[in-house]
């Protein structure tokens, strides 16, 4: 599924983020930036040990922030490492921190003149964020960013399993319907 926001595309696909050929892929890392399980482990395995060596120089990353490295053996030239919140009950700033992880990643892509970026569903694995709530926050943050910035031109979410893809498709359809209503009701000039 794909929708357009101004000059940019948001795309949802099922797949493995380590295989993406976008300018950057986003890693759902932890504050140490020294590797872990899930998507983090898969990215480090695919990129090779040079990625960990560069990560060691970064001094970690706060939750909600992001840092950029090279992609080494990946098809993507860059990895943007971000840290989503560990989900507790939704009342410990988790929505703000998750939105910030997406926004900071998009800002870094823009600052580095990257045209395309691929995200996993940050925090929805080991960090336990409920999938549907996380999809709303992720897609709302991406849509808002692309409404006010001309780049990146392609933002792809790479979902690992069919059910997570379905959830994101349903949420993006809601947003797309709303955007259409807004443009239909806009006063003619």
According to DSSP H, which parts of the chain are helical?
A: 38-47, 49-56, 94-111, 131-148, 162-185
Looking at 4, 16, 150, 178, which residue binds ligand AR6 (CB under 6 A)?
16
State yes or no: is 40 an active-site residue.
yes
Contact flag: residue 146 with ligand AR6 (CB under 6 A)? no
Looking at 9, 11, 14, 36, which residue binds ligand AR6 (CB under 6 A)?
36
Alpha carbon distance 176, 180 (integer Å): 6
The β-bridge partners of 10 are 3, 155
Contact flag: residue 30 with ligand AR6 (CB under 6 A)? yes
Q: What 3-state class would DSSP assign to 182?
A: helix
Window of 38-46, 91-99, 104-112, 138-146 that interacts with ligand AR6 by CB under 6 A: 38-46
Contact flag: residue 174 with ligand AR6 (CB under 6 A)? no
Contact flag: residue 135 with ligand AR6 (CB under 6 A)? no
Q: Given the DSSP bridges, would you call strands 2-5 and 8-14 parallel, antiparallel or unpaired? A: antiparallel
DSSP 153-178: SEEEEEESSHHHHHHHHHHHHHHHHH
Contact flag: residue 117 with ligand AR6 (CB under 6 A)? no
Window of 29-37, 55-63, 140-148, 172-180 that interacts with ligand AR6 by CB under 6 A: 29-37
- Per CB under 6 A, residues contacting ligand AR6 are 16-18, 28-30, 36-40, 42, 84, 120-127, 158, 160, 164
């Amino acid at each position: 599924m794909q929708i357009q926001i101004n000059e940019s595309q948001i795309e949802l696909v099922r797949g493995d983020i380590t295989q993406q050929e976008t300018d950057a892929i986003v890693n759902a890392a932890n504050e140490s930036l020294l590797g872990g399980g899930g998507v983090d482990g898969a990215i480090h395995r695919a990129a090779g040990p040079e990625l960990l060596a560069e990560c060691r120089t970064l001094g970690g990353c706060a939750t909600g922030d992001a840092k950029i490295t090279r992609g080494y053996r990946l098809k993507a030239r860059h990895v943007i490492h971000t840290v989503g919140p560990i989900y507790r009950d939704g009342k410990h700033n988790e929505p703000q921190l998750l939105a910030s992880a997406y926004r900071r990643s998009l800002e870094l892509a823009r600052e580095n003149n990257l045209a395309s970026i691929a995200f996993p569903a940050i925090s929805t694995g080991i960090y336990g964020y409920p999938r549907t709530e996380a999809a709303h926050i992720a897609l709302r943050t991406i849509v808002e960013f692309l409404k006010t910035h001309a780049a990146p031109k392609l933002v792809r979410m790479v979902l690992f399993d069919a059910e997570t893809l379905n959830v994101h498709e349903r949420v993006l359809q809601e947003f797309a319907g709303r955007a259409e209503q807004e443009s239909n009701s806009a006063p003619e000039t």
